[in-house]
Structure 1
Amino acid sequence: MDEIFEKRKKIIYEFICDEFYVPMKLKELAMLLQVPKDQRDELKAVMDSLEAEGKVHVTQKGKYIKGEAKHLRGIFQANARGFGFVTVEGEPEDIFIGEEDMGGAMQGDEVEVAITKAPAGRRREGKILKIVNRGTQRLVGYYQSRKNFGFVVPDNERILQDIFVPAEQSKGAVTGHKVVVELTSYGGEGKKPEGRIVEILGHANDPGVDILSIVKAYDLPSEFPEKVLNQAERVAKPVTGADMVGRKDVRDWQTVTIDGEDAKDLDDAITLTKEGDNYILGVHIADVTNYVQENSALDREALKRGTSVYLADRVIPMLPHVLSNGMCSLNAGEDRLALSCIMTVDSKGNVIDHQIAETVVNVDERMSYTSVKKILEEHDEEECRRYQTLIPMFELMKELSEILRNRRHKRGAIDFDFPESKMVLDEDGTPLEIKAYDRNVATKIIEDFMLLANETVAEEYFWQEIPFVYRVHEAPDEEKMKKLITFIQNFGYTMHVPKGQEIRPKEVQKLLDKIEGSQEEAMISRLTLRSMKQAKYSPDNDGHFGLATKYYTHFTSPIRRYPDLQIHRIIKDNLRGRMTESRRDHYAKILTEVTMQASSLERRADEAERETVKLKKVQYMKKFYGEEFEGVISGITKWGLYVELPNTVEGLVHVANMMDDHYDYDETHFQMVGTHTGKRYELGQKVKVRVTGCDTIARTIDFELV
C-alpha cells in the first residue's frame, strides 16, 4: 500500500515540476489526471503529503505550485548513538537527523534544516543545510598524548568526535589530565575538529577534579569578581534601629527555621498561632533586596548566575557567602530584615485574609527536618525535652499542613513522590553512602507553607495588575498525552480526557493514586512526568497545571533564585508607594528578558546537578563490583532491563547478557519474553542482580541477572 502511495506521489510531483505545468486547484488536477470522484480523497492525501514535505505549496487561491523544501531554524541535539534531533522553538515535535544528514553539526549548534520526510503520525525527518551559529566553543575532556600531538576525549557523550590537539597547543598536558579545550577548527570532510588546551583541571583521579570538570563543562561561574565581593562586604552590616523604621516588628513572635542539617542559606522562617478556628501563619522571607540594589555589581552578577547550584560536594551560590550565609540568612538569635506574608487560614485551608509587609524578625531556633520529625513522629524523649516550648507550635504546623495538603489534593494538584538521592561524601569527595532522601512530616510542612505563600502573593499581584514574575506550568501537549494514555492501557489503566478539551490535572492525579503501590508505579510516574511540560518563569500568568492553581510565583527563596529577588523588588516598590507609571514601564520592559534568562539558567543548573548525581552513583557502585543486590525492574527496552536498587541507583542488564535464553521485547506489554523457556520479565518485578561494570566517563552502571 505504502509503495503505491509513494509511486503516486513521485508521478504527481514530476508532473508539477514539468516546465509546461500551470498552477491548478485539486479539482482541476483530478480532471486532468482522470481521477474518479470516489478517489479524490486519495489524491488529496497525496497532495497533503507532498505539502508536508515542502515539495508543493498551496497558493491563497488554493492552487498547487512547486514548493521549495521548508527551511526551519533550530538547535541541534546530538545522540551518543550517532544520530541527532533539531528542536525548533514553537514546534511541538523535534526533527530526526540521520548520521549522513548532519552536515558537520555538533551538539548545541544553531542550524538550518530542511524537512525531507513527514510521514503521518510519525516524527519528521530532515537534513541540515547549514550551521548558523556554533553552540560549542569550549569542551571539557580527558587528554591523551601521542608522540607529537594529543587528543581530547570529550566528557559530553553528545560530542561525537575526539578533538585533535597539536603538541605546541597542549599547554604541557599529559595523559590522564582533565582539560578545557578551546576549538580552533570544527573539522569536516574527514578531518577531526582541532583545538588548543586553555586550562588543565588536574589529574582525572585527583580529589574534586570530577566535579570541577562538570562545573567547567556547564560553564558555571565558580569565582566572584573582586568588585562584587567588595560590595558584598560593604553592604553586609548588622541591622540597626534606622533599618527597622517603618517595618512591622515581629521579633517577639515565636519563630523557627526548618531546613536540612547542612543548609547554610536560610531563606524562610515560620510563625504559627491559632485564633478561634483560624490559623495565623507567618511566612517570613529574607529581605535580600535590602542588600542587593537594582543594577548594582551584586545584582548584575546574581542575574548572570540566575540560581545557586547545589552539586554533590559544593554549592555555587548566587550571592557571596557573606550575604547568602551571613546577613541575608535568617540565623537564630539575630535581628534580620524580612518580607513577610502573614495569612489567616480557615479550618478548610482557605486564606481568608492576608498581609504582605516589610518586617524585622528574630528566629528562636534553627530546627532541622530530622529533629522536627523526631518530635512529631517518633516522640523522641530527648528531642521533646530540648524543644519543649516549641512543641505546641509544631503540633499546629502538622495540623495545618495536613489541611492544606488535603485541599490541594481535592482540587487535583499532582504530587510526584520520587525518591531523590541523598549523598554522604568524605572530604575527598568519595561517596561513602547513597540513600533515598527522606520526605517526612517536616519537609512536607515547609513545602505546604511555602506553596501557600507563593500562591497568595501571586494572586494578590495578579489582581493589582502590576508587572510581575509568575511561575507557570502549561497544560501537557495533546500528542504526548495521547501516547501516555495508549501506554497505560497496556496495564489496564485509563485516563479521561473529554473530546476537544485539555486534560485536567485531577485526571493525572487520579492515575497516580491508582498506580500507588503497584509494580509499574515508578515507570508510569516517570513517563507521566516526561509527558508534562517544563515549568518556567514568565511575566504572563498562565497558571500552574501541576499544582492545579491559577496563580503561582516563586517568592520564598531570594537568596538562591533570581526571580524571587526580582519579585521582592516589585513588592517593595509597591508597598512603599513607589510604583509609578515609569516604574511599571521599567518592569514591563525588563521582565521578558529576565524570565527567559532565569528559566534557561535554571535548566543548566538542573542538568549539572543531575550529572553530578549520576557520576557519584557510578563511583559509589565501583566498590561493589561483583556483588549482588535485590532490585526492581524500573524500565524495559529492546536493548535490556533497567533495574533500580533501594538506594536509587539504576543500572542496565543488557539483553545480550541474558544468557539463559533468547529474549524478545514485547512492545505492547513492555515485557521481555524468553523464546524457549517462556520466562517473562515485567515492570516492577523484583530481581537479583550482580554489578558487572561502572563507566565513570559515560556515567553508566551495568548489571547482570543472578
Structure 2
Amino acid sequence: MTTEKQTDLNDPHATREAEKYDNPIPSREFILQTLEELQKPLRLFEVAKAVNVDEDDEERYEALSRRLKAMVRDGQLIRNRRGAFGLLKKMDLIKGRVLGHPDGFGFVVPDEGGKDLFLSEKEMHKILHGDRVIASVVGEDRRGRQEGIIVEVTEHCTAQLLGRLSLEDGMAWVRPDNNRIAQDVFIPQDGLMDAKEDQIVLVEILHQPSARSGPIGKVVEVVGDYMAPGMEIDSAIHAHGIPNSWSDALIAELDQIGDEVTEADLEGRKDLRNLQLVTIDGADTKDFDDAVFAKRRKNGWKLIVAIADVSHYVKPGTELDKEALKRGNSVYFPQRVVPMLPSKLSDGLCSLNPHVDRLCMVADMAIDESGKLERTQFYQAVMNSKARLTYTQVNEMVTDANSPLRSEYSEQIENVDTLYELFKVLQKAREERGALEFDTTETRIVFDDERKIKEIVPVVRNDAHKLIEECMLMANVATARFLKWHKMPIVYRVHESPMEDRLQNLRTFLADFGLTLNGGDTPTAQDFAEVAAQVEDKPYKHLVQTVMLRSMNQAVYHPENKGHFGLNYENYTHFTSPIRRYPDLLVHRAIRHVWSKQPISDFIYDDAKMVEMGQHCSDTERRADDATRDAETFLKCEFLSHRLGEEYEAVITAATNFGLFVEMDPLYVEGLVHITELGDDYFHYDNARHCLKGERTGKVYRLGDRIKVQVAQVNLDERKVDLRFIESLTESEDTGESEEVREDSAPAEGESQDDNGAKKKPRKKRYYRKKRSGGKSSKPKAKS
C-alpha cells in the first residue's frame, strides 16, 4: 500500500504521521475528533471502522490498539467496563494531579483548570500525593465541595521518599517526611539494610498503594540521624523531589567550558567595559545576575540594566539545559541553596563579579520625566562591574551626605545618585499607577555554632532594595513589550484578577468597615489601592490589607499575556534572573531569536511548548516554596520545643473552623490555639469575615486581634505548635477593657503597640520581589 492509501485524508495530521511511520495510523487528534463527532464510546473494532483501519490489516490494527491503550495511559481516553473507549469530559471524568493534605484527605487539581475535586481519606489510601489520576464526580460533601472517587491512576509519581524509621515487635515502617503523604510505608525485614530506629532513611517504593493495601518499600539509603543539624533541609529536598546532584554527563559538558571570557565570546558584542555599571545586592550574595547604570538625559533618564548572559553558555538540549529545566529554579534554604546551575556558572562565569569581564544581555531604556518607559534597545555586550555594592552601603550613600562611603566610592557616586533620583520618580509613578503594596513582615533565621536557631529577626528593607526593584521592574516590562511586539511565543508572568467567589467574600468583609471595593466583577489594582488608602491611618489597616492580599490569585508562568494584576501592568515577564530562574532563560532565547531575524516558526518553542514549560516552571516554583517552608517550619518547631510553658503576646494571622493561628512576638513563629481553648461557648467560623464568633457571648476573634498565649505542646513530626489561650489583649480605646468586636461594627480606633507602648510600623511588602538576604543561604528575590 502507498502512504496515501494507508492514511485517512480527513486526518488533519496525516502528513505528520506519514513522515514518522512507514505504515502510519490515525493521529491521536483525529481519534479524539472522531469520538467527539460520534458522541459515544467505541470498542476497538468500532474505532478502527470509524477511522478507516481495516481489521484484516493486522499491522495497522495492532498499532491502533497500542495507540488507544497509550491514550488511556496518558489520560486522553478512558476505557469502560465494556472495553469501549470514551472521552473523559463526556463521562464526567476529570484528569489531574493529586494534592494531599496532612489530615489525610486530598484533592484532584484538574489539568484543564476549574475547581479542585475533593477526595476523602478513604480514596487517598489508594494513591500518594503527586500521583496523576482520572477521577469521577460523585456528588458534594457536607461543606458543598465537589467530591470524587479515583477511577484510574494514570501515573504513580513517587518512586522514592524520605522518612523516619519506626521498629516495633518485628515490624518496620517509615513515616514520610512529606506531611502531604499521610500513609506510612511498610518495610519488610529484608528491606531494612542496617537502618536503626528513628533514623532518617530513603525508601524505594516497591508496591504502590491500592484500595486493599498501603505502600510497601525498602530502605536504599540511611540519610542520617533524626534531629541532626541540617537534616531538616535534606528531608525537605528528598520529600519534595528537588534534584540536587549533577550527572557525570553534565560534569563532562561543564568541563568543556572555560573559566574566563574569551576573545571569541566577544564577537558581535557591544563593549560596555568602561561604563560605571555596578551590582547592588545583599552582603553575603555570591551570584550577581544584574548590574545597573543611570544617566540624566534631556527630558528624562537613560537606564541600563545588564543581565548575566546565561543563554550564551546554556544551549537548548544540552545536559546543562535539561538539568536547569528539571530544577526550574534555585531553591533557597536557611544557610544553604540548591542552585539551578552548577557553581562554575552561577557563582563564576555567569555571575557579574566585580572587576572581571562578563558577558551580558542589556536592556537600554529611555525613561521620561514622569517615569514612563519611552523606548528600549536590547543588545548583547561585554561588561566589567566597577563595584560590588551592598544594600546597606547604597542606602547610607543616598541618605547620608557625610557618609565616608561617598568618598570611598567616589567614581561610582554619580551613578548611584542618579539611580536614586530616578528611583524616586519611578516610585511616584508606581503609586499613581495603583500597584499594590501590602504590609507583611519577612524574617531571617540566625543560627548558633551548632546550627540551631539563635533568634529570628525581621528583615529591614531600605531604599536601596526598592531602587533595584524598580530598575528590574522596568526591564521586565520593556522585555514583555518587546517580545509581544515581535509576536514571539514566551512565558509571561501572569497574575490574574481575583476570582468571583473571593471578590464576593471580600466585599462582605469590607462592608463591615463601611468600605466599598469598586470595579464590579472586574476591579482593577487601582480599585484595591483606593481601599488601602482609605484605611491607611486606621487601626484595622493591617487586617483589611491581609484579607485583600488573601483574595488574590497566585502568579504563574503562561504564554497567554493576561497582564499582572498586582503590579497593574498590561505586559510583564521575567528577564532579570536567568542564573536562578528557567523562565528568564527562555525569554533570553526569544530575544536572541528576534536578533537572528529568522521566522517565528523557526523558533525552537511554540505556544503549546510554552504552555508545558510555563506549567512546569510554576510547579517547580511552588515545589521550592513548599520545601523551604517545611524546612523553616521544622526549625521553628525545634526552636519552640525548648520553650514549653513560656508565655508570649501574639497576633491572630488566620481563623479557621477549628481554631486560630497566631504569630508570637517577638519570635515570629506561628502556632495554633484550638477552638476548645477559647472558653465556655460555641464558636462558629465566618469565612467571609475571617473570624470566630461565640454563640452565647458574641465574642469575636478576627485577624489582627492580639491575644496572650502559652506554648503547650510541640510535635516535631507533624510540625505543629499547640498554644494555650490565656487572655485577649484587644482593648477599646476609651476604657482599656477587652473589646467584644461585633460583626456589624468596625474595630475601635486605636493603634497596635509593642511592649514599650510605641506604635508599630509594619514593613511594606512591595509586589515585586525581595533581594536575597545574603549568600547561599539567603532567600531569592521575591516573586511578582
The TM-score range, normalised by the shorter chain, is 0.7 to 0.9
Q: Determine if contact 1:469/1:539 at 8 Å carries over to the other structure.
A: yes
Aligned-residue offset at 1:187: 4.7
Say whether residues 1:622 and 2:644 are aligned partners: no
Taking a change above 3 Å as real, the CA distance of residues 103 and 230 of structure 1, as seen in their structure-2 partners, is closer
**Deviation readout 1:629-658 (Å, 9 max, x if unpaired):** 222222223322222234532222223234
Q: Determine if contact 2:125/2:209 at 8 Å carries over to the other structure.
A: no
Aligned partner of residue 623 in structure 1, secondary structure? coil
Moved more, 222-231 or 518-527: 518-527
Match of 2:343 in 1: 321
Correspondent of 1:651 among 636, 648, 671 = 671
Q: Determine if contact 1:636/1:682 at 8 Å carries over to the other structure.
A: yes
Aligned-residue offset at 1:603: 1.9
Which amino acid counterpart does residue 340 of structure 1 have in structure 2? V
Say whether residues 1:208 and 2:230 are aligned partners: yes
Instruction: Number of aligned residue pairs: give it.
Output: 636
Q: Determine if contact 2:508/2:689 at 8 Å carries over to the other structure.
A: no
Taking a change above 3 Å as real, the CA distance of residues 622 and 586 of structure 1, as seen in their structure-2 partners, is closer
Give the whole-Å Cα distance in 1 for the aligned partners of 2:715 and 2:142. Answer: 40
Which amino acid counterpart does residue 654 of structure 1 have in structure 2? H
Say whether residues 1:151 and 2:169 are aligned partners: no
Match of 1:72 in 2: 94
Correspondent of 1:258 among 280, 288, 311 = 280
Match of 2:660 in 1: 641
Match of 2:621 in 1: 602
Which amino acid counterpart does residue 308 of structure 2 have in structure 1? A
Give the whole-Å Cα distance in 2 for the aligned partners of 1:127 and 1:293. Answer: 44
Moved more, 663-672 or 530-539: 663-672
Give the whole-Å Cα distance in 2 for the aligned partners of 1:581 and 1:681. Answer: 57
Aligned-residue offset at 1:356: 1.0
Say whether residues 1:559 and 2:559 are aligned partners: no
Aligned partner of residue 416 in structure 1, secondary structure? strand
Match of 2:66 in 1: none
Taking a change above 3 Å as real, the CA distance of residues 333 and 561 of structure 1, as seen in their structure-2 partners, is same
Match of 1:579 in 2: 598
Correspondent of 1:442 among 464, 481, 490 = 464
**Deviation readout 1:260-295 (Å, 9 max, x if unpaired):** 112111000011111234111110001112222222
Which amino acid counterpart does residue 415 of structure 2 have in structure 1? M
Q: Determine if contact 2:207/2:215 at 8 Å carries over to the other structure.
A: yes
Which amino acid counterpart does residue 497 of structure 2 have in structure 1? A
Aligned partner of residue 376 in structure 2, secondary structure? strand
Which amino acid counterpart does residue 615 of structure 2 have in structure 1? M
Match of 2:742 in 1: none
Taking a change above 3 Å as real, the CA distance of residues 234 and 199 of structure 1, as seen in their structure-2 partners, is same
Q: Determine if contact 2:125/2:183 at 8 Å carries over to the other structure.
A: no
Give the whole-Å Cα distance in 2 for the aligned partners of 1:347 and 1:96. Answer: 53
What does 1:344-423 correspond to in 2, within 5 Å?
344-377=366-399, 381-423=403-445
Match of 1:10 in 2: none
Correspondent of 1:280 among 274, 298, 302 = 302
Moved more, 83-92 or 283-292: 83-92
Which amino acid counterpart does residue 719 of structure 2 have in structure 1? R
Moved more, 584-593 or 172-181: 584-593
Say whether residues 1:692 and 2:712 are aligned partners: yes
Give the whole-Å Cα distance in 2 for the aligned partners of 1:578 and 1:195. Answer: 54
TM-align CA RMSD: 2.8
Aligned partner of residue 412 in structure 2, secondary structure? helix
Taking a change above 3 Å as real, the CA distance of residues 122 and 677 of structure 1, as seen in their structure-2 partners, is closer
Q: Determine if contact 1:341/1:357 at 8 Å carries over to the other structure.
A: yes
Aligned partner of residue 158 in structure 1, secondary structure? coil
Aligned-residue offset at 1:678: 6.5
Q: Determine if contact 2:156/2:208 at 8 Å carries over to the other structure.
A: no
Q: Determine if contact 1:637/1:665 at 8 Å carries over to the other structure.
A: no
What does 1:307-346 correspond to in 2, within 5 Å?
307-346=329-368
Q: Which runs of 5+ in 2 are unaligned?
A: 1-88, 727-784
Aligned-residue offset at 1:380: 7.0
Taking a change above 3 Å as real, the CA distance of residues 365 and 581 of structure 1, as seen in their structure-2 partners, is closer
Which amino acid counterpart does residue 427 of structure 2 have in structure 1? R
**Deviation readout 1:167-199 (Å, 9 max, x if unpaired):** 111112111111122222345566443211122
Q: Determine if contact 2:123/2:149 at 8 Å carries over to the other structure.
A: yes
Give the whole-Å Cα distance in 2 for the aligned partners of 1:677 and 1:554. Answer: 52
Taking a change above 3 Å as real, the CA distance of residues 567 and 678 of structure 1, as seen in their structure-2 partners, is closer
Give the whole-Å Cα distance in 1 for the aligned partners of 2:109 and 2:606. Answer: 30
Q: Determine if contact 2:128/2:209 at 8 Å carries over to the other structure.
A: no
Give the whole-Å Cα distance in 2 for the aligned partners of 1:125 and 1:319. Answer: 42
Which amino acid counterpart does residue 584 of structure 1 have in structure 2? F
Give the whole-Å Cα distance in 2 for the aligned partners of 1:127 and 1:418. Answer: 39
Q: Determine if contact 1:425/1:431 at 8 Å carries over to the other structure.
A: yes
Give the whole-Å Cα distance in 2 for the aligned partners of 1:530 and 1:202. Answer: 38
Match of 1:35 in 2: none
Match of 2:494 in 1: 472
Taking a change above 3 Å as real, the CA distance of residues 173 and 688 of structure 1, as seen in their structure-2 partners, is same
Which amino acid counterpart does residue 267 of structure 2 have in structure 1? V
Say whether residues 1:196 and 2:218 are aligned partners: yes
Moved more, 386-395 or 552-561: 386-395
Q: Determine if contact 1:491/1:669 at 8 Å carries over to the other structure.
A: no
Match of 1:536 in 2: 556
Say whether residues 1:105 and 2:131 are aligned partners: no
Which amino acid counterpart does residue 485 of structure 1 have in structure 2? R
Say whether residues 1:425 and 2:447 are aligned partners: yes
Moved more, 446-455 or 106-115: 106-115
Taking a change above 3 Å as real, the CA distance of residues 664 and 354 of structure 1, as seen in their structure-2 partners, is same
Which amino acid counterpart does residue 290 of structure 2 have in structure 1? D
Moved more, 627-636 or 123-132: 123-132
Match of 1:461 in 2: 483
Identity %: 36
Aligned-residue offset at 1:447: 0.8
Match of 1:134 in 2: 156
Taking a change above 3 Å as real, the CA distance of residues 241 and 134 of structure 1, as seen in their structure-2 partners, is closer
Taking a change above 3 Å as real, the CA distance of residues 514 and 701 of structure 1, as seen in their structure-2 partners, is farther
Give the whole-Å Cα distance in 2 for the aligned partners of 1:133 and 1:121. Answer: 29
Q: Determine if contact 1:103/1:130 at 8 Å carries over to the other structure.
A: no
Moved more, 517-526 or 487-496: 517-526
Taking a change above 3 Å as real, the CA distance of residues 168 and 300 of structure 1, as seen in their structure-2 partners, is same
Q: Determine if contact 2:491/2:560 at 8 Å carries over to the other structure.
A: yes
Which amino acid counterpart does residue 460 of structure 1 have in structure 2? F
Give the whole-Å Cα distance in 1 for the aligned partners of 2:535 and 2:277. Answer: 39
Which amino acid counterpart does residue 252 of structure 2 have in structure 1? N
What does 1:512-527 correspond to in 2, within 5 Å?
512-516=532-536, 518=538, 520-527=540-547
Give the whole-Å Cα distance in 2 for the aligned partners of 1:115 and 1:496. Answer: 36
Which amino acid counterpart does residue 713 of structure 2 have in structure 1? G
Correspondent of 2:293 among 249, 266, 271 = 271
Give the whole-Å Cα distance in 2 for the aligned partners of 1:589 and 1:126. Answer: 29
